[in-house]
Each structure stands twice: as structure tokens, then as C-alpha cells.
Amino acid sequence: MVSRGNWGGRLGFILAAAGSAIGLGNIWKFPYITGIHGGGAFVLVYLVCILIVGLPIMMAEIYFGKMTQKSPVGAFEHFETESKGFFHYHRAGKAMKPFYLVGWLGVISAILVLSFYSVVAGWAWHYLYLSFSGFSGTDAEVTSLFGKLYVNPYLQLGWHTLMMGITVWIISKGVSKGIEKASKILMPILFIILLGLMFYALTLSGGMKAVKFMFYPDFSKIDAEGIIQALGHSFFTLSLGMGAMITYGSYLKEDVNIVKSSIIISILDTIIALVAGVMIFSIVFSYGLKAASGPSLIFKTLPVIFAKMPGGQIVAILFFILLIFAALTSAISLLEVAVSYFVDEKNWTRKKATIILGFFIYLLGILSAVSSLKIMNESYLDFFDNITTKYFLPVGGLLTILVFAYGIDHKSKMEELGFKSWVYFLFNWTIRIITPALLIFIILNKMGLFKI
Ligand code: PFF
């Protein structure tokens, strides 16, 4: 049996898990979807989703990992129950429910997500490189930089190679010497840069307008599409639905409280998204630009402003370092999901698993880096992004919460979570009915089967 590794301490686990959660989702995606959906009301819906969808699934995932000390496939297999009924398979002469498939879905999702996540993180590397010589020229010239990068496969591949190389290097060092150490260095720097940028941005003329935009709910601006986006994003941002928290939870020793840790990780993730939003909108409003510019908000809109604002070059450098650090601590958690499966179930050494999987994911990422390649009329990047965030992750999250709610007895859950009985009562009905219902609602909606 190859040794799996453990966290050195509670802080290491919290920083690594927060590092997984805090990523491109917080600094790139959350601000732009908040911009598109009109601000405050969307933020409020998002916070409710974190509470009733994200938090329970986070607790379930950390529970599965901590209790079984196994990667997602092994963890789900551990809880398989004997039952014939609909959909079963035979193991050692018994009819079992194939829960392990949920773990498999997680491993496949992690591989697909990392393949394009690394390419998008590569854009941040390119923009950091551009920031060193400073953004200058007309608005159209600065905006066109993104198009030039997007159509240049060699450039995109180069940055993708660098990003995957660093990810593989950290993971090959192991749980405490690789993931934990990297998180302990990168996360505090990330917090400091973000706070510094936020205070600077608030001194600009658009600061108060940004705070009002983010925290003053105008319900006439939120529609069904916004609610679905908020729901879906609430668990992407917390790294749920693909076993990342199961994997990180599996390296925990006994002494960590699942409920407290889940709350701390979710609060950190939420604060970072809100701070990133306030910071970005302060800058955008101060220069009279639009909040609703979509995915290009940070790669086109912000550089136009960096070219104009006093100290813009330093702000740009810090901003893209922030983005890269956030992406890196998430990318390592994605690779770890896949690596832990091969280490646990196939007895591969960590080095072998890391190199083979890292290389495979790197090759898969080439499809996303070469933007002229298309599948079903869209780029591979959009295709992989869509199938994972629209289908695989919600389905993974749904199955995880169902196994947790219905497959594990009350006594074990109560003991491990340590809830008072009335809190457990509320929690139990939330995870049995409300969380699954909301997830089913997202999945059906994305499939076009249910419209509101
Ligand atoms: N939570 C990350 C983000 O917000 O960017 C993305 C992510 C990382 C999702 C790891 C899932 C995961 F397993």
C-alpha cells in the first residue's frame, strides 16, 4: 500500500480547501455574472444558495473523505448498500447499489475541468507578462490584445504548458510538502494583495457606487436566469460536485470539526468573491465603463482602465498575480482528485500518477488552447466548460447529497456533525428535500426541460 499522506495541521487543511474554493470562479466569473445580472439582488440570491446548497454539500463531501480516508471512488464504494431494486451490480455475490460511479463522475469531471481551467489561467499569465511592459494605446488597441492571444495557439499552448508544469510539480511533492506548503505561501499573499487592491479601489470616485451596486438589492433586476446562475455558481465556486472536498477531507486526521471547517471555508470563499466584486466595480465605475461586459470584464475592460489610471501598471501586475495564485491553488486540487484515485485504487506511486495524469490532462488541454478547433459548433473550451458546469457538477452534487441524506444513518451523521437536535432536524430536511430539489431544478432547466 502506497502511503497517502496527511495534512500537517488544521490550518493547512483550511488554507488548502479555501485555496481550492477560491479561484477563477471568484475573481473572474463571480464579478462578471454579478455585472450581467444587475448587482445586489443577484448577490443576495447567491448568498442564500451558498447557505442551502453549497454548505450542506461541502459538509457531506468532507464527511465522506474524513470518515473513509479514501479518494472519491473508494469513499462512495465504502457506503454502498446491499439492495437489488433499480440499478445494481454484483460484488462478492451480493447485489449492490453502484455508488462508486458518483466517484468516477468526479474524477472525469476534475480531468475535464482542469484541461480548460489551465488554459484560462494561462490567459492570466499572459496578461501578467503584458502588465510588465504596461498597457498603452487607444481603448481599441488595448481591447484587441485579448483577440490576439485567443487566436494564437502557440502563445496559449506556451502558457498552458507553464501552468500545468507548476501544478504537476506541486502535486508531485505530496499532500503536506506540496499542496499544504503551496497553500500556506500563496493564500496569505492572495489575501493581502486583494485587500490592498480593494482599499485602493475604494479611494477612487466610483467606490461608493460599487458598494451600492453590490449590496443594494433591486429585485426588478433579477430574473429566473439569474437565479439559476447563482445556484450553479454557488457550488462551482466552493469546488463541489467533483470530489475535491472528499479528497482533501480524506487527508484529515480525527481532530477537525467538519461543520466549523465547512463554515470557515465557505465564508472565506464568499468574502473573497465579494471583495473582488467591490474592487473590480469600483475601478470600472470610476472610469465610466459598463458592469455588464461579460466574460471579457477582466481581460478587456480592466486593461483599458489600467492603461489610464494613476499607478495602473502596479495595480495590473498585482491583479494578475492575484488571479494566477487563485487559479493555481484550485488547479492543484483538481489534479489531486485524479491522482488520489490512482494512488488509492491502483496503487500507483504519487510521482507516477502525477506525471501520467498531468501529461494526459495537458494533452487534453491542447484542444482548448487551439481555439480554432471546434466541436458541435463551439470551441472545446466552451464545450468542456458547458458539459461540466451545466451537467456533470450539478449531477455529481445531487448524487452526493442524496447518498449523504438517504444512505447514511442519522446516528453517525449526528455524532460526527455534533448538531443540537433541532438544528439536525432542520439540516436533515434541508438535505433531504430542499437541496436536491434545487439541484434537480437546475439540471432540468439546463437541459431545457423546465422553464420558469
Ligand atoms: N472553486 C474553483 C473556482 O471557483 O475557481 C473551481 C474549482 C476547483 C471547481 C476545484 C471544482 C474543483 F474541484
Q: What is the pLDDT of residues 320-366, one digit of tens each?
A: 999 999 999 999 999 999 999 999 999 999 999 999 999 999 999 99
| Predicted local distance difference test score (pLDDT) of residue 319 | 96
Ligand 1 atom with the shortest distance to the CA of 28? 5
Of all residues in the chain, what percent carry a pLDDT higher than 70?
A: 99
259 assigned to some structural domain: yes
| Predicted local distance difference test score (pLDDT) of residue 434 | 97
Of all protein residues, the one whose alpha carbon is nearest to atom 9 of ligand 1 is 239
Query: Which of 171, 236, 265, 266 has most ligand 1 atoms within 8 Å of its beta carbon, as the pocket-test mutant?
Result: 236
How many angstroms is it from 330 CA to the middle of ligand 1? 6
Residue 114: C-alpha distances to residues 18, 61, 163, 372 (Å)? 17, 20, 10, 20
Helix residue ranges per DSSP H, 203-257: 207-215, 224-237, 244-249
Residue 132: C-alpha distances to residues 227, 301, 315, 348, 361 (Å)? 39, 18, 11, 42, 30
| Predicted local distance difference test score (pLDDT) of residue 294 | 81
How many angstroms is it from 93 CA to the middle of ligand 1? 39
How many angstroms is it from 425 CA to the middle of ligand 1? 30
What is the dihedral sign for C-alpha 104, 390, 357, 247?
Answer: negative
Please tell me the distance from the alpha carbon of residue 193 to that of residue 319, in angstroms, as a whole number: 8
pLDDT tens string 162-188 = 999 999 999 999 999 999 999 999 999
89 assigned to some structural domain: yes
Please tell me the distance from the alpha carbon of residue 249 to that of residue 13, in angstroms, as a whole number: 8
Of all residues in the chain, what percent carry a pLDDT higher than 90?
A: 87
pLDDT tens string 267-323 = 999 999 999 999 999 999 999 998 988 888 899 999 999 999 999 999 999 999 999
- pLDDT grade, residue 93 (50/70/90)? confident
| Predicted local distance difference test score (pLDDT) of residue 225 | 87
With contact defined as beta carbons under 8 Å apart, do 82 and 94 qualify? yes
Residues with CB under 6 Å of ligand 1 are 20-21, 23-26, 110, 236-237, 239, 242, 244, 330, 333-334
| Predicted local distance difference test score (pLDDT) of residue 451 | 72
1 assigned to some structural domain: no
Of all protein residues, the one whose alpha carbon is nearest to atom 12 of ligand 1 is 239
With contact defined as beta carbons under 8 Å apart, do 365 and 167 qualify? no
Least confident of 23-37, 40-54, 77-91, 419-433: 77-91
| Predicted local distance difference test score (pLDDT) of residue 105 | 97
Host domain of residue 251: 10-446
How many angstroms is it from 444 CA to the middle of ligand 1? 23
How many angstroms is it from 228 CA to the middle of ligand 1? 18
Q: What backbone phi and psi angles, to 5 degrees, belong to 374?
A: -130, 150
| Predicted local distance difference test score (pLDDT) of residue 140 | 94
373 assigned to some structural domain: yes
Judge whether residue 111 has pLDDT over 60: yes
- pLDDT grade, residue 254 (50/70/90)? confident
- pLDDT grade, residue 96 (50/70/90)? confident
| Predicted local distance difference test score (pLDDT) of residue 81 | 80
Query: Which of 333, 361, 392, 400 has most ligand 1 atoms within 8 Å of its beta carbon, as the pocket-test mutant?
Result: 333
339 assigned to some structural domain: yes
How many angstroms is it from 137 CA to the middle of ligand 1? 35
With contact defined as beta carbons under 8 Å apart, do 45 and 226 qualify? yes
Query: Which of 237, 298, 325 has most ligand 1 atoms within 8 Å of its beta carbon, as the pocket-test mutant?
Result: 237
306 assigned to some structural domain: yes
CATH of the domain at 44: 1.20.1740.10
| Predicted local distance difference test score (pLDDT) of residue 240 | 97
How many angstroms is it from 238 CA to the middle of ligand 1? 6
222 assigned to some structural domain: yes
Query: Which of 330, 332, 390 has most ligand 1 atoms within 8 Å of its beta carbon, as the pocket-test mutant?
Result: 330
Q: What backbone phi and psi angles, to 5 degrees, belong to 257?
A: -85, 120
Ligand 1 atom with the shortest distance to the CA of 109? 13
Ligand 1 atom with the shortest distance to the CA of 238? 1
- pLDDT grade, residue 380 (50/70/90)? very high
How many angstroms is it from 393 CA to the middle of ligand 1? 10
The answer to pTM > 0.85 is yes
Residue 93: CB atoms within 10 A of its CB come to 5
Residue 203: C-alpha distances to residues 208, 211, 298, 322, 360 (Å)? 9, 12, 20, 20, 46
Partners of residue 94 on adjacent β-strands: 91
pLDDT tens string 219-245 = 999 998 899 889 889 989 999 999 999
419 assigned to some structural domain: yes
- Domain total in the chain: 1
Ligand 1 atom with the shortest distance to the CA of 330? 8
Ligand 1 atom with the shortest distance to the CA of 236? 9
| Predicted local distance difference test score (pLDDT) of residue 1 | 52
Chain centre to alpha carbon of residue 385: 12
pLDDT tens string 65-88 = 999 999 999 999 998 888 777 788
Question: What is the average pLDDT value for the chain, to the nearest integer?
Answer: 94
Q: What backbone phi and psi angles, to 5 degrees, belong to 420?
A: -65, 160
